[in-house]
Amino acid sequence: MDIKRSIRHKLGTVATELYLGDDLLGSALLQKLLLERKCVIVADVALKNLYAAELAAKLGAKLLTVPSGELAKRLETATHLIDQLLQMGVDKETTVIALGGGVTIDLVGFVASICLRGLPLILIPTTLLAMVDAAVGGKTAIDTAFGKNLIGTLYDPEAIVIDVSFLKTLPEKEWMNGLGEILKMGLIYDPSILALAEKNPKDQALVVRAVEGKIAIVEQDPKERGLRRILNFGHTIGHALETVSQYEIAHGEAVAIGSLAESYLSMRLGYLSKEEFDQIEKLYKRLPLQLPRLYAQEKLLDAFRYDKKNINGQVRVVLIDRIGHAMEFDGNYCLAVSQERLKETLDWLEKVYL
């Protein structure tokens, strides 16, 4: 692992320092950033003995844990965490450090954004998916019974520390998960990502390119009024799969399947050439994707109703017209798609992949 660099960037309205490198938590720069603060670390409980307890001891910080897994991303867990923070006597000067994957980042980010109307926040993502996506862009989220991420805030952390040395302990299946979001970035924004992933899906340069892509998009549209919507490519179908499978399918994997299906939809609507679609399909077919079991199609179609991009009950989907380019539709970056087309795409997915 040989990425040795730090990037400082301004995301949204607050300046967020973004550090990306190898073994950063041992570096003098980071020690300084963290040691000078009154901190509480909130970590995924699965990381307590792996990283969190050691980091807390090093920083002299208090440590709280939250449960692992998507089902932890709900209001009950958030209110319990708020109670714990208040009981511990946090004040506006207490920095909350979120340590974990996307679930922990979303949940703890949400809590930090509302507790005492906002506590300073530092994100330390530990999964590939959280490094390239969840930690960058200031979105926090909580799931509801109606669907994923339906509650949340936009809240910029003071710093994001992307330390690729955490990836050493990442289970194989979690790599696939992160790759789902990385490849999506390749399809919508940076075609060089697909070429790199084809050669070596664990190339460290993929982390850098995906993070740079996300920053470039978010900086242009921090509040998701237009361009930022392209990050939702693959997510209309992806979120529906996650919801209907009751999170049996992990987010990144659902996004990978969703990206392939929405590439198919882009082709069927006449925007993406058959040649480029075939190229995409060839790459995705080589990935060890865990394909969904047969989910009743009506349930998936019903789940589309809760997609956050919908307007007046119409399901809107991000589309691509070539590899590395998401389409703009009068500043909207997504297009209303008929039930027939959505159904046809799900039929294709079932026929080819189930």
Contact call for residue 133 and ligand NAD (CB under 6 A): yes
Tokens of 250: 């992990």
**Residue 139 interacts with ligand NAD (CB under 6 A)?**
yes
Segment lying near ligand NAD (by CB under 6 A), choices 76-84, 164-172, 292-300, 308-316: 164-172
Considering only residues 41, 42, 85, 129, which one is a binding residue for ligand NAD as defined by CB under 6 A?
A: 129
Torsion, Cα 272 278 284 287, to 10 degrees, reads -170
Looking at the DSSP bridge assignments, the partners of residue 224 are none
Find the part of the chain contacting ligand NAD (CB under 6 A) among 98-106, 155-163, 197-205, 346-354. 98-106
Contact window for ligand NAD (CB under 6 A) among 42-50, 268-276, 288-296, 337-345: 42-50
Q: Which is nearer to ligand NAD, 201 or 276 (CB)?
A: 201
Q: Which of 151, 170, 205, 269 binds ligand NAD (CB under 6 A)?
A: 170
Among left, alpha and beta (phi > 0; psi -120 to 50; other), residue 115 is beta
* Strand 38-44 relative to strand 94-100, pairing: parallel
DSSP string, 189-247: T-THHHHHHHH-TT-THHHHHHHHHHHHHHHH-TT-SSGGGGGGTTHHHHHHHHHHTTT
CB of 223 to ligand NAD, least distance (A): 13
Region near ligand NAD per CB under 6 A, out of 29-37, 192-200, 217-225, 245-253? 245-253
Nearest to 301 by CA among 270, 337, 326, 247: 337
CB of 42 to ligand NAD, least distance (A): 13
Q: Which residues, numbered 55-84, are part of the site for ligand NAD (CB under 6 A)? A: 68-70, 73
